[in-house]
Amino acid sequence: MLSNRSRYALRAMIYLAGLPGGGPATIGEIAEAAAAPRKFLEAILLDLRRQGLLVSKRGRTGGYALAAPAEAVSFADVIRALEGPLALAPCASRTAHGPCETCPDVETCPLQPVLQEGRDAVAAVFEARSLLQAASNSSPIDPIGK
């Protein structure tokens, strides 16, 4: 399930993607556009900056802006930056592969192929959708399906 943290992050990033040059915008503007609690969003945007997806600038003309062109940032990039791997279990992850805590043998586990298939399907959708595409299709309805 997509966390509120990721949902607010995606809304904020889509908002920035819709601005000329990907921003900058103040935290207040972003919070209003993302319909997110300001304090919660501040922590999220700071994490996205630490992960290299955003840049920030202080001062009167400052704020947050995308660190890369909106067409180069996917939904998967944002979710992975905040939540980690897209897989439901470590054995199905491509970026953090490992055995599950309760699995006696990864090689013979009947769950692994299904979990990998699910991960591949989710990744295909999230990796194929860029922030620019979402910003171009945005409407007053939540683009992430809340």
CATH architecture under which domain 4-136 falls: Orthogonal Bundle (1.10)
Cβ–Cβ contacts within 10 Å for residue 22, how many?
23
* Contacts of residue 101, Cβ cutoff 8 Å, sequence gap at least 6: none
Supply the pLDDT for residue 132. 95
Supply the pLDDT for residue 2. 86
Residue 138 reports pLDDT greater than 70 = no
What's the CA gap between 84 and 98, in Å, rounded?
Answer: 14
Higher pLDDT, 113 or 43: 43
Higher pLDDT, 120 or 96: 120
Mean pLDDT across the chain: 89
Alpha-carbon separation of residue 76 from 10, 37, 102, 124 (angstroms): 10, 23, 27, 9
Residue 140 reports pLDDT greater than 60 = no
Q: Kindly state the percentage of the chain with pLDDT values over 90.
A: 62
* CA-atom Rg of the chain in angstroms: 17
